[in-house]
Amino acid sequence: MTATEAPAPVTFESLDPRTGDVVARTPCTGRPRCAPRWPGGPRAAEWWGGLEAAERKRHLDAWRAVLVRMLDDLADIVVEETGKPLDDARLELVLAIDHLDWATKHAEKVLGRRKVAPGLLMGNQAASVVYRLRGDRGDRPVELPGVHADGVDRVRAGGRERRGLQAQRADARRRGGARRHVRRDRRRASGAAGRHRVRGYGRRAVPGAGIGKIAFTGSTATGKRVMAACAQNLTPVLVECGGKDPMIVDADADLDAAADAAVWGGMSNAGQTCAGVERVYVLDAVAEEFTEKVVAKSRGLRAGSGGAYGPMTMSAQVDIVRRHVEDALARGGRAVVGGAESVHPPFVEPIVIVDVPEDSSAVTEETFGPLLVVNRCRTSTRRCGAPTPLPTASARPCSRGPAARRSPGGCAAGWSPSTA
């Protein structure tokens, strides 16, 4: 430790974002304790790689059955540690179960050996691609059992050691028992596969060497730091960073469906969705009607207990949402749903702002909150471009009719969010 480096924290806390109450304290895994954990990954990968597709399917089906059986208990834990509505928590788990089902049906085809063209210089040779398992990955090794259970992974990230705090809760035994049953049944479902979770702050918990690959999801700023750390040992890295998620609405789109998609993509999970919708570009010919439909749908939503969505997961994100709203309004944007008064931590009510200048932070920076920017386009989707190039790629859903599909100037041929 250098003279300026702060002492490593012993634990980190998981908070209920609705109240700020501590619901779990988890011991941090320091560097000395990390090293012996990594060898378990390669061993598990070797075991898993030696299984036939049918045997892998059996393990994945068994783990899927665990999630189905424990779904209600796990959903309660997700609600407690994220504040989201119970139905949204159930959806997280159902998606995890669906991912496992997809893997059992398609993994053999997707990951199996496939022939490829060897190229002109090696035309007399045969070539094929084989996917090797990486069990030493810093995140979730995608080929191992249970890896698609994202909801459960997030639940467990809140902490395993909760006995002291749970004693204060009437349903403590049931919740603690849920985690124990999941861990026990997961071990049974996974057979001989070993899996080790390193818990704590990434810069301290992840050692500088000995990891085969790092997969990171988070902000662009943190992603850069992760990449810099990986560069020291040439560790392969996969980063999923932020974006500004544009949606394009063409003149012959189904406006009811488009408005529904825009509001769901922008407001669900309090706008905290990696591939949601943060800004909408709509053609002038249908802009007024489309905006009216978005306003009507958004005004019916409420945040908080019994509402359509829960709180902002991170308190710092509330300040980002407020800053983007204030900047958009100060630069001439017009709020048609909500406004600056809609931000009342830890909740943010739905906000829709139209005619926002393209150099506003509400357009150029990721908001990751329930703020939807709607801007008009003049004549075609090809002219709906953003003058300011964005630093990262975004999802780009399109709402289009038959004319857009026929025309090279339709959604599929529209601007790229990373191109001026």
Residues 324-333 pLDDT 10s? 999 999 999 9
Of 21-30, 72-81, 131-140, 247-256, the one with minimum mean pLDDT is 131-140
Residue 205 has what pLDDT? 47
Average pLDDT value for the chain: 75
Banded pLDDT at 45 (limits 50, 70, 90): confident
Return the DSSP state at 11. E
Banded pLDDT at 37 (limits 50, 70, 90): low
Runs of H (alpha helix) within 233-385: 255-267, 284-299, 315-330, 361-364
Q: Which residue has the tokens 């998606």?
A: 95
Contact, 244 vs 368, CB < 8 A?
Answer: no
Contact, 242 vs 394, CB < 8 A?
Answer: no
Residue 148 has what pLDDT? 31
Residues 229-253 pLDDT 10s? 888 888 888 888 888 989 999 999 9
Q: DSSP E strands: which ranges in 136-212?
A: 137-138
Output 5 or 361, whichever has higher pLDDT: 361
Does residue 161 register a pLDDT over 90?
Answer: no
Residues 264-311 pLDDT 10s? 999 999 999 888 899 999 999 999 999 999 999 999 999 998 899 999
* CATH no. for 246-413: 3.40.309.10
Tell me the domain boundaries of the chain: 11-27+48-119+143-193, 246-413
- Counting residues of the chain whose pLDDT is more than 90, the rounded percentage is 36
Residue 370 has what pLDDT? 97
Residue 198 has what pLDDT? 59
Angle, helices 71-82 vs 172-190, to 10°: value is: 120
Buried/exposed code over 254-263 (b: 16+ C-beta within 10 A; e: otherwise): ebeebbebbb
Find the radius of gyration of the CA atoms of the chain: 24
Residue 184 has what pLDDT? 62
Residues 182-232 pLDDT 10s? 666 666 555 545 455 556 555 554 545 567 778 888 888 888 988 888 888
Contact, 269 vs 245, CB < 8 A?
Answer: no
Residue 4 has what pLDDT? 54
Banded pLDDT at 22 (limits 50, 70, 90): confident
Nearest in space to 343 (alpha carbons), one of 317, 375, 374, 321 = 321
Buried/exposed code over 69-78 (b: 16+ C-beta within 10 A; e: otherwise): ebbebbbbbb
Nearest in space to 126 (alpha carbons), one of 115, 137, 113 = 115
CA–CA distance from 80 to each of 23, 104, 182 (Å)? 8, 31, 17
Does residue 416 register a pLDDT over 60?
Answer: no
Residue 286 has what pLDDT? 96
CA 187/CA 385 separation, integer angstroms: 51
Contact, 214 vs 138, CB < 8 A?
Answer: yes
Does residue 316 register a pLDDT over 60?
Answer: yes
CA 106/CA 112 separation, integer angstroms: 10
Banded pLDDT at 320 (limits 50, 70, 90): very high
CA 282/CA 3 separation, integer angstroms: 55
From the number of C-beta atoms within 10 Å of its C-beta (0-12, 13-18, 19+), residue 317 rates as buried
Determine which helix (DSSP H) or strand (DSSP E) holds 103, and give its type and residue range. Answer: helix 86-111
- Quickly list DSSP for 20-56: --EEEEEE---HHHHGGGTTHHHHHHHHHHTS-HHHH
CA–CA distance from 114 to each of 52, 105, 108, 123, 251 (Å)? 17, 17, 11, 17, 43
Structure tokens at 71: 């779904």
Of 110-114, 126-130, 348-352, the one with minimum mean pLDDT is 110-114
Is this prediction's pTM over 0.85?
no
Residue 406 has what pLDDT? 39
Banded pLDDT at 136 (limits 50, 70, 90): very low
